[in-house]
């Protein structure tokens, strides 16, 4: 699996690269928008090295998944260092091994522009989310009606296999789901990155 291979290579330097991009404030905002309560069950999809753990309250139940064992090893060390209790599992976000309505919230940070078939990842997140639950999305997206420039298309030919897809749109990924956009805010690089809070309506 290409994602597992490339992120195994990136794992030792991942924290330094992402922190240099200054994304901590966006992560904090995205997680704050979930309005988590004590005892809530939270799923982090594409958890990587666990950079989201710093912004989750200590009184929630955290499960973290990723396809890359090397990334999860960093996450487990991070959690142990802070005393957080986190269940870490190697898992493909397109086929989650959890029952329907298992979680109060799902965190999807910097994963939808990376994973193959992201619409399947969204569909699975919706399935395991309880009615009334929220999904926190932080990622780079084109506007739904925006056409990528020639320069951006050329850059994407290099970026997509090495890092992530620069030309994904959020609208098509949530089309056909019951998700409602509760909050959508540009946070970095002129709105290229956005923090979006999605809600699954009560049944």
Per-residue pLDDT of the chain in tens (203 residues, 90 and over written 9):
655 655 565 556 666 566 656 789 999 999 999 999 999 999 999 999 999 999 999 999 999 999 999 999 999 999 998 888 899 999 999 999 999 999 999 999 999 999 999 999 999 999 999 999 999 999 999 877 777 677 776 665 665 665 677 778 899 999 999 999 999 999 976 777 899 999 999 97
Q: What whole-number distance in Å separates Cα of residue 137 and Cα of residue 63?
A: 17
pTM comes to: 0.87
Alpha helices in 33-96 (DSSP H): 69-82
What is the per-residue pLDDT for 9? 55
Task: Residue 131: count other Cβ atoms within 10 Å of its Cβ.
Answer: 11
**How far apart, in Å, are the Cα atoms of 109 and each of 9, 52, 64, 150, 199?**
20, 8, 12, 27, 16
Q: pLDDT value at position 49? A: 92
Task: Give how many domains the chain has, as a whole number.
Answer: 1
What range does the domain containing 27 cover? 2-199
DSSP β-bridge partners for residue 61: 41
Do the strands 193-199 and 180-188 form a parallel or antiparallel pair, or are they unpaired? Answer: antiparallel
What pLDDT score was predicted for residue 7? Answer: 53
Read off the CATH number of the domain in which 117 is found.
3.40.50.150
Closest to 64 in 3D by CA, of 100, 91, 101: 91
């Amino acid at each position: 699996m290409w994602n597992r291979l490339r992120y195994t290579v990136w794992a030792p330097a991942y924290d330094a690269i992402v922190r240099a991009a200054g994304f901590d404030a966006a992560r904090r905002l995205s997680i704050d928008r979930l309005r988590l309560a004590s005892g809530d069950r939270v799923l982090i999809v594409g958890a990587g090295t666990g950079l989201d753990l710093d912004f989750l309250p200590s009184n929630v139940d955290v499960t973290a998944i990723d396809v890359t064992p090397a990334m999860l090893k960093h996450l487990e060390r991070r959690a142990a260092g802070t005393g957080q209790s986190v269940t870490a599992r190697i898992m493909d976000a397109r086929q989650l091994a959890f029952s329907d309505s298992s979680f109060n919230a799902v965190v999807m940070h910097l994963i939808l522009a990376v994973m193959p078939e992201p619409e399947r990842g969204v569909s699975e997140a919706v399935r395991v989310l309880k009615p009334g639950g929220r999904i926190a999305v932080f990622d780079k997206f084109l506007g739904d009606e925006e056409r990528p420039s020639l320069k951006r298309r050329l850059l994407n030919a290099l970026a997509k296999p090495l890092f992530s897809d620069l030309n994904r749109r959020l609208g098509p990924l949530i089309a056909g789901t019951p998700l409602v956009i509760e909050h959508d805010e540009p946070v970095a690089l002129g709105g290229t990155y956005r923090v979006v809070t999605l809600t699954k309506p009560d049944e």
